[in-house]
Chains A and B, each alone.
Chain A
Amino acid sequence: MPVLLVIRRTMDWRPLLLAAVVGTVIPAVPAMAHVHLGAADLCLLLRLGGICGALGAAFALDDAAAGATTTVPVGRLWRTCARVAWLTAGLGLWWLVMLLIAGWNAHVSGVRLPLGGLSVEAAAGAAIAVAAAVVALRLRSPSGGPGLAGGVSGAATLLGVVVAVSLLPADLTLVVPPDSPRWPAVHLVWAGVLVAALAVMVVASAEPLRQRRR
């Protein structure tokens, strides 16, 4: 429990806050402008908002003092878990707000949005970003490098995944409109990605770490 409190003090919340603000603006502007949009466009707005949140989440593991904490008695897995717990709480609260805005948008436009599936996509995106950050920190930190490599690597990995997914041919795409017959299958894939990313996080946090020779 004390770990949670200590970790909260060392977290830099500014990237997440900034990302949350940008992410909220994307679906909020059409909500305030009372623009009538189709279900597919509203899904796209929520997805783009989710990408912003995931970009912010990537930076939650960065810690300028990471080099000094490798010797503390609390293991790497627990330090990571504590950060991810705070991150999940913050992101979850923000995503609730996003869902409220999306629900309002859907109400104005008179459509139904599959918010559960969209939440799975957003969670998978955030998990990819955080998992990439954990891996990057694991590869960098023990050799005395800065504990700030996680956010950059996580954000870059997420953007790469987003671009690669958007370039997939139509019959393989993982981004489908809500009325698509492939919706359940695609979201099973996203749920699998979420679980796989969480597994990577756990594996990459395992100790003991061996010092990498230069």
Chain B
Amino acid sequence: MNATITSVAPATGDLVTPHGSAGGSTMALARVEAGRLLRHPLTVIALFLLTVYWAYPLVTGADSVHFAVLQNADRATQFPCAFLLGGAAMIVSNLAVLRSRRFGTDAVLDVATLTRSHRTAAHLLALVPLAVLATALVVAQIVAVAAQPAAVGRINPAELAVGPLCVILLGCLGVLLGRLVPLPVVAPLALVAFAVVTLIPAIPGIASGSGPQWQWLFPVAYEDHNDNPLPADLLSRPVASHNFYLLALILLAAAVSLLAGRGSAQAGTAAVRRVTAIVAAVVLLGVSTAVQIARPSAAVLDARTRAAQSPAAGQVCRNTQPWTYCAYPDFTGRIPHWDRLVRAVVGQVAPVTSVRPLTVRQHVRADQGPKPITEVMPAAPVAGWLSDAAAAGYPPEDVTVGTAWSAEAEFAFAASVARAVIIGGPPPSRIDPACGARGVVILWLAVQASPRSARGLAQLESSSSAGVAFFTGGYGSGLVFDVRQLEAVRNLARIPAADVGARMRQSLAALTAPGATTEDAAQLLGAGQLTAPSIDSVDRC
């Protein structure tokens, strides 16, 4: 029994007292407190909310889960776990420490066998079952996400450990705060403060891509780039040393709370051991801090630049006759999905075998590091990509595709494929107008490619005012459609796709002629009269 205690929490190694039974009594108290912690309404509500929050997108098949990138999904478990379960652990263990004070039974406990520090140790040990439960939930969530057929990427187990470690850390802080300030308002306030400081690096411009990585000083190092997921090799996340950092913080909080307060100033080896534990924790804290805030290594920064500017050498290419798909190694699982979309678009235009072979290449804006895309998107360095592909011996690319996937990304991909088929030439480096009849054809081909793609266009329309533009891979590379083209395609959606497709194939030459207008396309395809105002500059090429 004593060996177990020592291995779980070194700071409580002094539990073997001359009374002999104190260790066993502490464990018995810890079991009771653990049960109360798990059964507390706040813990139950937190567990319920976390389960619903994780299960809801899995059950409804949301795109964010369906197309998960596992090297992002693993660290997405951290904040919900730390905030909900850690928050519950913090408040409930704080309340448990203050229970005797709130109920006016401090004096009764003073004459009990267990000393104040033994009771503190029991409160600290009571956190372990909740942390085990947190681990089980985190593992279940990531396994369920990884089991999705379209999930790609790699899981880092060290990322999964952060959430449960934060549960223990916040619980220890709740105990510590209870021993230092006997007011129950302190723990909820500390929880709000925790949420605030954790979200500081999320403010645009605070986190830096190449300087010292200060965000690692917070329990959860917030790095959000879900709109631009990087291949796992390009991440620079010192999460293993961060786990040691969290362990050091736990050790420190536990040792200080054992020392704090009256009744624990016993002389002898116990105090010495606690001071030793504090010193060890501080040393571990210093070392792990130095390692984790170090700026990303030159090798990683180089690899990021290479991946953004000349990715061909590092990518895997697959040929599914007659098309070629090149993706970063982590993302090759997306190729079958791309292939389905390409077939859906091209199949409407002509028999697949008669179409010129297309090359699709994936791109990611890796050179800015793991940062959300907030600023104006730069032009895509298409000329550099083409010469890079030529140097690596691949055909020039016709379609670019990013690493994030959603309904909007699916629409953007389908529209890019349609652009390559209808207009041809290298992918645009900026947002080009998709003018006249060609724009209508591209838009219709993209929308009919899949229900998700149609939903993507609807989402883009609801978030933009006049016309719709799409982007690929974090670059300002894509097409813009005007309101008349959108209206034409809305009208076409009411007609069976087979009819529209037949009319399109019949008059393809007239539809893709450079001078054909949106009005022409509406007439040829049967979209009826357009009512939206005409914009000359976009209407004609």
Q: Tell me the A residues contacting B by CB distance below 8 Å.
A: 14-15, 18-19, 22, 26, 35, 37, 41, 48, 51-52, 55-56, 58-59, 64, 146, 148, 151-152, 155-156, 158-160, 163-164, 167
Q: 26 interchain pairs (CB within 8 A)?
A: A14-B183, A15-B183, A15-B185, A18-B186, A22-B193, A26-B196, A35-B203, A41-B203, A48-B192, A51-B192, A52-B189, A56-B185, A59-B183, A59-B184, A59-B185, A151-B184, A151-B185, A155-B91, A155-B184, A156-B41, A156-B42, A156-B188, A159-B87, A160-B42, A163-B84, A167-B53
- Which residue of A41, A55, A167 contacts B188 across the interface (Cβ within 8 Å)? A55
Q: Tell me the B residues contacting A by CB distance below 8 Å.
A: 41-42, 45, 49, 52-53, 84, 87, 91, 95, 102-104, 183-186, 188-189, 191-193, 195-196, 203
> Which residues of chain A come closer than 8 Å to B87, judged between CB atoms?
159
> Which residues of chain A come closer than 8 Å to B84, judged between CB atoms?
163
A48 to B183, CA, bound (A): 20
Known A18-B186, A146-B102, A156-B188; 14 more pairs at CB < 8 Å: A22-B189, A22-B192, A26-B192, A26-B193, A41-B203, A48-B195, A55-B192, A64-B104, A152-B95, A155-B91, A155-B184, A159-B87, A159-B188, A159-B191
> Which residues of chain A come closer than 8 Å to B192, judged between CB atoms?
22, 26, 48, 51-52, 55
- Residue pair B49, A55 in contact (C-beta under 8 Å): no
- Residue pair B49, A163 in contact (C-beta under 8 Å): yes
A141 to B148, CA, bound (A): 52
- Which residue of A18, A64, A163 contacts B183 across the interface (Cβ within 8 Å)? A18
> Which residues of chain A come closer than 8 Å to B52, judged between CB atoms?
167
- Residue pair B203, A155 in contact (C-beta under 8 Å): no
Nearest to B84 among chain A residues (CB) is A163
Knowing A18-B183, A18-B186 are in contact, say whether A156-B91 is a contact too (CB < 8 A).
Answer: yes
- Residue pair A146, B103 in contact (C-beta under 8 Å): yes
Give the Cβ gap from A50 to chain B, nearest Cβ, in Å: 10
Nearest to A169 among chain B residues (CB) is B56
A214 to B208, CA, bound (A): 60
- Residue pair B45, A160 in contact (C-beta under 8 Å): yes
- Residue pair A146, B104 in contact (C-beta under 8 Å): yes
A159 to B187, CA, bound (A): 11
Nearest to A14 among chain B residues (CB) is B183
> Which residues of chain A come closer than 8 Å to B193, judged between CB atoms?
22, 26
Give the Cβ gap from A154 to chain B, nearest Cβ, in Å: 10
A174 to B28, CA, bound (A): 45
Nearest to B94 among chain A residues (CB) is A152
> Which residues of chain A come closer than 8 Å to B191, judged between CB atoms?
159
Nearest to A36 among chain B residues (CB) is B205
Knowing A48-B192, A160-B45, A163-B84 are in contact, say whether A155-B102 is a contact too (CB < 8 A).
Answer: no
A22 to B185, CA, bound (A): 11
> Which residues of chain B come closer than 8 Å to A152, judged between CB atoms?
95, 102, 184
> Which residues of chain B come closer than 8 Å to A37, judged between CB atoms?
203
A87 to B95, CA, bound (A): 24
A155 to B195, CA, bound (A): 16
Nearest to A21 among chain B residues (CB) is B189
Give the Cβ gap from A52 to chain B, nearest Cβ, in Å: 6
Give the Cβ gap from A152 to chain B, nearest Cβ, in Å: 5
A41 to B49, CA, bound (A): 25
Nearest to B41 among chain A residues (CB) is A156
A160 to B186, CA, bound (A): 17
Give the Cβ gap from A194 to chain B, nearest Cβ, in Å: 21
Give the Cβ gap from A49 to chain B, nearest Cβ, in Å: 9
A64 to B103, CA, bound (A): 9
> Which residues of chain A come closer than 8 Å to B184, judged between CB atoms?
15, 59, 151-152, 155
A-B complex: 5 closest residue pairs judged by Cβ atoms: A15-B185, A155-B188, A22-B189, A55-B188, A148-B102
- Which residue of A148, A156, A167 contacts B49 across the interface (Cβ within 8 Å)? A167
Nearest to A56 among chain B residues (CB) is B185
- Residue pair B203, A55 in contact (C-beta under 8 Å): no
> Which residues of chain A come closer than 8 Å to B49, judged between CB atoms?
163-164, 167
Nearest to B186 among chain A residues (CB) is A18
Give the Cβ gap from B281 to chain A, nearest Cβ, in Å: 26
A61 to B186, CA, bound (A): 16
A151 to B186, CA, bound (A): 11
A15 to B95, CA, bound (A): 15
A56 to B191, CA, bound (A): 13
> Which residues of chain A come closer than 8 Å to B95, judged between CB atoms?
152
> Which residues of chain B come closer than 8 Å to A158, judged between CB atoms?
188
- Which residue of B45, B102, B104, B185 contacts A19 across the interface (Cβ within 8 Å)? B185
- Residue pair B104, A18 in contact (C-beta under 8 Å): no
> Which residues of chain A come closer than 8 Å to B104, judged between CB atoms?
64, 146
Nearest to B103 among chain A residues (CB) is A146
Give the Cβ gap from A46 to chain B, nearest Cβ, in Å: 12
Give the Cβ gap from A21 to chain B, nearest Cβ, in Å: 9
A19 to B183, CA, bound (A): 11
Give the Cβ gap from A4 to chain B, nearest Cβ, in Å: 23
A167 to B104, CA, bound (A): 38
Nearest to A159 among chain B residues (CB) is B188
Nearest to A51 among chain B residues (CB) is B192
Give the Cβ gap from B57 to chain A, nearest Cβ, in Å: 11
- Residue pair B41, A18 in contact (C-beta under 8 Å): no
A26 to B190, CA, bound (A): 12
- Residue pair A55, B103 in contact (C-beta under 8 Å): no
- Residue pair A48, B185 in contact (C-beta under 8 Å): no
